[in-house]
Structure 1
Amino acid sequence: MTGSRWEAANVVSLRLERPDGGGLPSWEPGAHVELTLPSGRIRQYSLCGPRDDPHGYTIAVLREPSSRGGSAEIHDTGLVGRELQIRGPRNNFSLRPAGSYVLVAGGIGITPILSMARELAARGADWRLHYGGRSLESMSFLPALDALACAVGAPAEVRAEDESGMLPITEIVSTAPAGAAIYACGPGGLLDALKSAAASCRPDLEVHFELFTAPVPGEGGETEASRHEQPFTVVLAQTGETVRVTDGTTILGAVRDVVPEVPYSCEEGFCGTCVTKVIGGSPVHRDTVLSAEDHAAGATMTICVGSCSSAELVLDL
């Protein structure tokens, strides 16, 4: 890590470079990297720097008082000058072709949305941006967004809750151009409101979203990760070992008993770190990171929250 700067109150951006100064893999808007912190924690952060910088990745991290330690470690540990392991870039939130785009960000959710705005501006696409936060002091990248919107003449609404209230979700959805694609990132309440508004008054719109926190249990399709309809056996194809999964145990927990190095992070089905190839069996999906098409195909699954409806599940581990 070669540098850091404050982007807003409690938000620090970090620049990641290779120790030898070499080039880094290219990436597309919406991509993220997995960062292994000195403690061993693995966290995912969206890339929000310029894509034409071949030697550096930029991420931004909000200090979360209720986090499980990752954001506090980044804010409190002197990481500049230290070598950290990263994986990726990976992209579960890529831009798809559309006639027009509506970008919606809440809080630190601006990080992937910023890269999308830059890309759409470069393409000359039809797009507009709505960005909400608790206060202007807490909202990151405002100068960059202002300059970008002014340069291309794209409408950008910035709304601080303490001054102007929350983003008008129903209005944003109802006034979107016909057939527009909505890309949104932020807290679960914002995304639920967008999906609900689109379903009720604008079924012509596609809503694509990325979560930075897990859904509230019982909402958004999430179920209890350690609850299973019936016990089943997991076969680890690479070693031939088997583990038994019963109520009270997650697939991830059972697998880690024999493969402790299997990667994982959120344990709530929204980050994608533990996505694993399925070779056999019938996975039951409970995540919010894989698409409906991925769920239907059954070729991969998130083993931190998933289950199985067959007697045996074969994983590429």
Structure 2
Amino acid sequence: MSTTESLRTFKIGGEIEINRLGYGGMQLTGKGVWGDAPDRENAKKVLQAAVEAGVNFIDTADSYGPHTNEVLIADALHPYPKNLLIATKGGLDRTGPNQWPVNGDPKHIRETIDGSLQRLKLDVIDLWQLHRFDSRFPIEETLGPVADAVAAGKIRHVGLSEVDIEQIERASKMLPIVSVQNLYNLGDRKWEYVLDYTIEQGMAFIPWYPLASGPDKLKSKIEKIAAGHNATTAQIALAWLLKRAPNILLIPGTSSIEHLHENLKAGDIELSDDEFKALSE
């Protein structure tokens, strides 16, 4: 990644400028993303440390806990700094640890938007993302309450998660889509074509599970490159993503302040074109 300031930031929806290295709150929950953070005071300190270090993009969801992660963020950071964008998601139910049934019922979507606003202590959600398409409901029905919330000033921008191009285009007929959050990392690039599409469309691409450093066949390559930069393999995995495309926003999560700062230092690693190519093969 170039150290030029223009490549360190990205404008969500073409208007909200954020640092490309953000923070994902999912790990600040109990086992199986169920219940509150085991050490709540430490979790609050991690969030505060992230903002103090320059993070101004935090990703959460009503399903993390469920609900506890949004409450935690508000408890730790409210009143929020003016430049902090908190993105949340809706569209899943939680029936137990590691259980995530999809729920695109318009009634549920309406309730989750209002619930997120209340828990996060926000008047407007800068980026609300649909967690998944629900095959039981036409996307036009699922997004109806979202469009209503945008019109009412409750939501500023809308994103999608785990979607293909056809789904993005169908949703875009309902309302502008500014971001896509799909699984993508050095070792899993099945959504490569969707990433390329978001680049063309000027949308943000937010990889979830960004720290994965790939299969064993990459191990020796990444370790060699990491040694050359005096970095960890996780930092190289993040640096590769930052160099891959200027619209990629990273949200690595952690419950450790030390690990948080380690992740953020990935933004200072500049992979050469040869190093990037070696990892991309």
Q: Shared fold (TM-score greater than 0.5)?
A: no
Q: Larger helix proportion, structure 1 or 2?
A: 2
Q: TM-score range with shorter-chain normalisation?
A: 0.3 to 0.5
Bigger Cα Rg:
1
Higher RCO (C-alpha under 8 Å, 6+ residues apart): 2
Which structure dedicates a bigger proportion of its chain to strand?
A: 1
Give the TM-score of the pair, scaled to structure 1: 0.32
